[in-house]
Amino acid sequence: NQIAEMKAAQSPSASSLRSTLLDPAVNILIQKMRQELMSTKAKLEDTQNELSALKFTPD
């Protein structure tokens, strides 16, 4: 019972989440983080492809 109460106290309410998402500064930060993540994923894929090409040895 106490655990459930503590979890409820820690979880943010829907209205506080909405107000946070409506904050332009937060939205800009999230967009920049998404762009950085996409860039990092692309670099990772390129690096993995390069590594696979280096490991390839024709028989």
pLDDT computed for residue 35 by the predictor: 96
Q: Is 22 helix (H, G, I), strand (E, B) or coil?
A: helix
pLDDT computed for residue 59 by the predictor: 60
Q: Give the predicted TM-score (pTM) of the model.
A: 0.56
Between the CA of residue 16 and those of 10, 12, 24, 50, 52, what are the distances in Å?
A: 12, 6, 15, 45, 47
Q: Round to whole Å and give the CA distance between 10 and 4.
A: 10
pLDDT computed for residue 45 by the predictor: 97
- The stretches in the chain having pLDDT less than 50 are none
CB 13 within 8 A of CB 20: no
